[in-house]
């Protein structure tokens, strides 16, 4: 089957239609609802369509985090999901490239930063992201929590990643 073009649109939380935002949140809840973390509110939503059908989405936040006790301006990617029938056709990759464009052009981010399950880290590596050792910590209602799986970053400027332990300085995304 010839591969169909993936169209990606990115809208801020203020711009996105309320119905679409509610649909994305229901969908994200179905896929990630069993993960027992409290998450940061999304500031941007990327949606992917093939032939006008909604097939994937991800969210973005802008955050000042810390690595090796240095402040780092990051664009945080989360809630990456492609509908099962559309997987392995480059939908996630197209959304990650669009997210990178927004991080550069609108968020003034020095790095992209995301946390993910070990099994899906290759998706982000394919988009140029690299694993960092961390450990990565973030705020939760019960106290500071260490993430047990992978953290990946994307260098967006000449600044090198400081390395060392990472503090998301708030809720995770």
Ligand X SMILES: CC(C)(COP(=O)(O)OP(=O)(O)OC[C@H]1O[C@@H](n2cnc3c(N)ncnc32)[C@H](O)[C@@H]1OP(=O)(O)O)[C@@H](O)C(=O)NCCC(=O)NCCS
Which residues contribute to the site for ligand X (CB under 6 A)?
31, 56, 80-82, 87-93, 116-117, 119-120, 122-123, 126
Nearer to ligand X, 26 or 87 (CB): 87
Nearer to ligand X, 30 or 108 (CB): 30
Q: Please state, in angstroms and rounded to a whole number, the distance separating the CA atoms of residues 101 and 125.
A: 17
In angstroms, give the least distance from the CB of 69 to ligand X.
27
* The two structure tokens encoding residue 168: 């998301």
In angstroms, give the least distance from the CB of 119 to ligand X.
6
The pairing of beta strand 136-140 with beta strand 143-146: antiparallel
In angstroms, give the least distance from the CB of 26 to ligand X.
15
Nearer to ligand X, 49 or 162 (CB): 49
Q: Using the 8-state DSSP alphabet, how is residue 94 labeled? A: H
Q: Could you tell me the CA-to-CA distances from 67 to 4, 24, 76, 77, 118 in Å, in that order?
A: 40, 31, 14, 17, 21
């Amino acid at each position: 089957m010839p591969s169909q073009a993936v169209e990606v649109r990115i809208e801020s939380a203020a711009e996105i239609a309320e119905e679409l935002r509610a649909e994305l949140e229901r969908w994200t809840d179905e896929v990630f609802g069993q993960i027992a973390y409290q998450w940061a509110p999304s500031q941007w939503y990327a949606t992917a369509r093939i032939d006008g059908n909604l097939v994937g989405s991800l969210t973005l936040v802008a955050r000042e985090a810390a690595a090796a006790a240095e402040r780092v301006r990051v664009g945080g990617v989360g809630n990456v999901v492609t509908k099962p029938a559309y997987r392995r056709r480059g939908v996630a990759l197209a959304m990650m490239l669009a997210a990178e464009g927004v991080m550069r052009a609108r968020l003034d981010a020095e790095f992209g930063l995301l946390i993910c399950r070990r099994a899906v880290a290759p998706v982000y590596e394919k988009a140029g992201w690299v694993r960092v050792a961390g450990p990565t910590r973030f705020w939760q209602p019960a106290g500071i929590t260490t993430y047990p799986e992978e953290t990946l970053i994307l260098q967006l400027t000449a600044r090198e990643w400081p390395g060392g332990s990472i503090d998301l300085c708030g809720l995770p995304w």
